[in-house]
Amino acid sequence: MKLDTNPWGRWYEVGDRVFVRRNRTLDVNAGLVLGDQRCLVIDTRSSEREGQELHRAVRSITPAPYTVALTHAHFDHCFGTSVFTDAQPECEVWSHERALAELAVSGVQQRLEISGWLRESGEEVLADELDAVRLILPNRTMSSDDISLDLGGRQVVLHHAGRGHTDNDMVIDVPDAGVTFLGDLVEQGAPPSFDHSYPLDWPATLTRLLERAGPVIVPGHGNPVDPDFVRRQRTEIAEVADLARKLPPGLEDSELEWHANRLAVGGAAGFIALRRAQEHLAELAQLQ
């Protein structure tokens, strides 16, 4: 699939009856998978207004009943869910069980923190939209076992391969179309986001996913990619994990920044990644 020079806010068919809509705000992707009896909406965007835009876009493709799948518990992927449950009260909303727990415990705090960050960045309109969001919790969850959803003549598989971008990343496989939605386990056009990540585990998680992923891979942000892109990003994240294991504990931020600036993921992302990795190494040391 080749995107044109104006990719925003349009559906692109990346496999048989499998669509991606790339949105300008945060360059976040939403997905749509069509079956003979129902469809699957993948992620719901950042706010009710954005959820309404996505709902209209879904209805421009199909009038079929929908199920919603949330790749993880970050606001830009799930805060538009209320639009879909309001329009279809019996709607199933799937996530990993830890995504449900995360939203239940800290969803309101996440909304406050992100709203404040947006205001500091001059994004007053989106900040106001986040303040008004009604948080909707998933009503269906999966854990370590795969879940197969029947869309009518088509099976879609929900899968968790391990910790990576978060501890609640859920992958959506569309086997008959050769398309896999990885959420923010992979990011195109920007470094991976490490703020809530598990850099020590992430490379192995991607290795397991590569064993089953289709030839077309949809990241949480940016253009669709192929398995070779995922392998390259896995190598970059593995570099972070390897360096974190070699560094002495308790480094000052200035020293951590010096090492981060030499990482392929980039200095800013690398600093967060190294700090996260060292936090986890410290936790492991306490358990020994």
Tell me if 157 is assigned to some domain: yes
Tell me if 286 is assigned to some domain: no
**Alpha-carbon distances, residue 141 vs 147, 165, 168 (angstroms):** 9, 19, 11
Q: How confident is the model at residue 123 (pLDDT cuts 50, 70, 90)?
A: confident
Looking at the 3D structure of the chain, how many domains does it have? 1
Amino acid 245: pLDDT: 94
> Which of helix, strand or coil describes residue 143?
coil
The C-alpha atoms of residue 183 and residue 165 are separated, in whole angstroms, by: 9
Helix 202-210, helix 227-246: angle, nearest 10 = 160
Tell me if 266 is assigned to some domain: no
Is 90 exceeded by the pLDDT of residue 200? Answer: yes
Q: How confident is the model at residue 1 (pLDDT cuts 50, 70, 90)?
A: very low
Is 70 exceeded by the pLDDT of residue 186? Answer: yes
Task: Give the list of residues 6+ apart from residue 279 with CB closer than 8 angstroms, or none.
Answer: none
Beta bridge partners of 69: 42, 94
The mean per-residue pLDDT over the stretch 6-30 comes to 93
Mean pLDDT of the chain: 94
Residue with tokens 């981060």: 260
How close are the terminal C-alpha atoms of the chain, in Å?
49
Tell me if 283 is assigned to some domain: no
Tell me if 237 is assigned to some domain: no
**Choice among 66-75, 113-122, 135-144, 269-278 with the minimum mean pLDDT:** 113-122
Is 50 exceeded by the pLDDT of residue 187? Answer: yes
The C-alpha atoms of residue 197 and residue 165 are separated, in whole angstroms, by: 4
The mean per-residue pLDDT over the stretch 179-195 comes to 97
Q: Which long-range contacts (CB under 8 A, 24 or more apart) does 127-133 make?
A: 129/46, 129/47, 129/48, 129/49, 129/50, 130/46, 130/47, 130/75, 130/79, 132/47, 132/48, 133/47, 133/48, 133/75, 133/79, 133/82
What would the pLDDT profile of 156-166 be if each residue is shown by its tens digit? 999 999 999 99
The mean per-residue pLDDT over the stretch 139-149 comes to 96
Amino acid 16: pLDDT: 98
The mean per-residue pLDDT over the stretch 177-205 comes to 97
Amino acid 6: pLDDT: 64
Question: Residue 45 sits in a domain of what CATH number?
Answer: 3.60.15.10
Is 90 exceeded by the pLDDT of residue 286? Answer: no
Tell me if 264 is assigned to some domain: no
Percent of the chain with pLDDT over 70: 98
Which domain covers residue 46, as residue numbers?
11-225
Tell me if 44 is assigned to some domain: yes
DSSP assignment of 46-95 equals SSHHHHHHHHHHHHHH--S-EEEE-SSS-HHHHTTHHHHHHHSTT--EEE
Tell me if 252 is assigned to some domain: no
